[in-house]
Chains A and B, each alone.
Chain A
Amino acid sequence: MNKPAAAFCRLKQKPANLPGLFAVFKAALGREWRMQVRRRGDLVNPLVFFALVVVLFPLGISPTEDILAPVAPGVLWVAALLATLMSLDALFRPDLLDGSLEQQLVTGYPLAPLALAKLGVHWLLSSLPLILLSPFLGIMLYLPWEAQGVMMLALLLGSLALSLVGAIGAALTAGVGKSGVLMTLLVLPFYIPVLIFGTGAMQAAISGGSAMAHLSLLGALAALAITLAPWAIAAGLKIAVSGE
């Protein structure tokens, strides 16, 4: 160091000017985006996992269309459920381990919107690619064309609920070292309604009926999750920090 380090002098102070919650939320979105984009492996691996699980089924059951087509909705949804769960596992743990979670608790702003910013970016970077990947896997499972659109729409709505509910589990298990299996045990039962309505929508579309009822139920689940889950996530994160 050529300059003496003794120059830890403070910068000229500006008058205090606390930003509004929305400005902080926007800043959090930008920060999360930069962080998550740089962890490329965490983004790609769940997608590969999703594809791999789907590929296992024809190998395990039968490659013929009349056997695969009827189980395609279930297989795709189960794989999507598990892939979402995997991608959420490490959502909060790094933050807990490097102290950023503590810092988020003392910002002077509520924790829920900050966690929501993180989750929103995570959804954009992991659930959206999964939805875009799903038609290709649908083709491989002989999913009829008329069900493809419904599947993507159902995944779009369902993945919101999956992300939000899964994040509660991720918050609760953030302090547990190896939590993959525990997180699965906690969260999968809560995923069952999404699985039922999601596959129901696709089966309705395949059999030529209307998927509207299922889709609106999925929408209701997503709406409910958006209103309630952030508070549970915030509470879970506070509990996790108090355990460090």
Chain B
Amino acid sequence: MSIAPSPPSILSVRQLSCERDERLLFSGLDFDLYPGELLQLEGPNGVGKTSLMRLLAGFLPASGGRIYWQGKPVEGCWEEMHQALLFIGHLAGIKAELTPLENLHWFAALEGGQEEEDLEEALSRVGLAGFEDQPCQQLSAGQKRRVALARLLFTRRSLWLLDEPFTALDKQGVAAMEHLLVEHAQAGGTVILTSHHALEQLTGLRKIHLGAPQAGVKEAIHE
């Protein structure tokens, strides 16, 4: 059952299961993700999409199964994996006390720094020109979201985990984001995202549907 994945996959999941608050969210999940792929996690609310994201990012322990990073069990190489990972969750991780520019400075510093003009350029491309030096607490929810998404314009990290990246974005913003994701995939990057949007524009989008767990699986885990 758990055959180690073939090397070119950057992220693989074998028989992964997740339990939260004594509720089995999903189990027996298998997939391989290759460079250049866009993967959308689908399913109704409460089915474990966000939990799967948090599991892949290393925030939650899996109840069963394994995750492989470039063919290696991820438990041994979280740091290596995180250096290639860009995670944007429900919470954007934007500091309200800091300005958009200062927020980006930190994320850029984690990757070796960026020129000030480049960060300003990134902000203006996401439509925040003129807001660079206002504390983020004065921005709207959509604008804060854009600050977080501006990271995607300059990051060198290849695997993007985006949990509901389109929340609070207007129509144009969604379209622009879709374009950005395709561009990243074409350059050999990989994206996993959750979204309730239809995402028709995304060519080559792969989907995984997280359905209701089968009864009796929980028992199988414990015995």
Contacts and interface: CB of A to CB of B under 8 A. Distances in A.
Contacts of A18: 83, 111-112
Contacts of A103: 87, 93, 107
A176 B172 CA distance: 38
Contact of B59 (A9, A14, A98, A105): A105
Contact of A10 (B80, B93, B102, B152): B152
B141 interface: no
Interface string B46-66: 000000000001111100000
A34 B98 contact: yes
Interface residues of B, number: 58
B122 A11 contact: yes
Of the listed residues A8, A14, A38, A241, the one surrounded by the most CB atoms of chain B closer than 10 A to its CB is A8
Contacts of A38: 97-98, 135
Interface stretch (A70-78, A107-115, A126-134, A159-167): A107-115
Contacts of B209: none
Interface in A216-244: 238, 241-242, 244
A62 interface: no
Contacts of B82: 105-108
Given A18-B111, A39-B97, A110 B79 contact: yes
A23 B177 CA distance: 31
Nearest to A23: B109
A16 interface: yes
B206 interface: no
Given A8-B177, A11-B122, A105-B58, A19 B153 contact: no
Contacts of A7: 125, 176
B156 A107 contact: no
B154 interface: yes
Contacts of A39: 97
B110 A108 contact: yes
Given A9-B125, A11-B122, A108-B82, A102 B156 contact: no
A242 B59 contact: yes
A18 B60 CA distance: 26
A244 to B, nearest CB: 8
A209 B198 CA distance: 78
A6 B172 contact: yes
Interface string A87-119: 000000000011110110111111000000000
Given A11-B118, A24-B109, A27-B109, A5 B127 contact: yes
Interface residues of A, number: 42
Contacts of B156: 13-16
A108 B69 CA distance: 14
A234 to B, nearest CB: 13
Contacts of A11: 118, 121-122, 153-154
A102 B176 CA distance: 26
A27 B110 CA distance: 8
Interface string A1-35: 10111111111011111110001100110010011
B92 interface: yes
Interface of A: 1, 3-11, 13-19, 23-24, 27-28, 31, 34-35, 38-39, 97-100, 102-103, 105-110, 238, 241-242, 244
Interface of B: 57-61, 79-80, 82-87, 89-98, 102, 105-107, 109-114, 118, 121-122, 124-127, 129, 135, 149, 152-154, 156, 170, 172-173, 175-177, 179-180, 183-184, 187
Closest 9 CB pairs of A and B: A99-B91, A108-B83, A8-B176, A27-B109, A103-B93, A99-B93, A17-B112, A108-B82, A5-B172
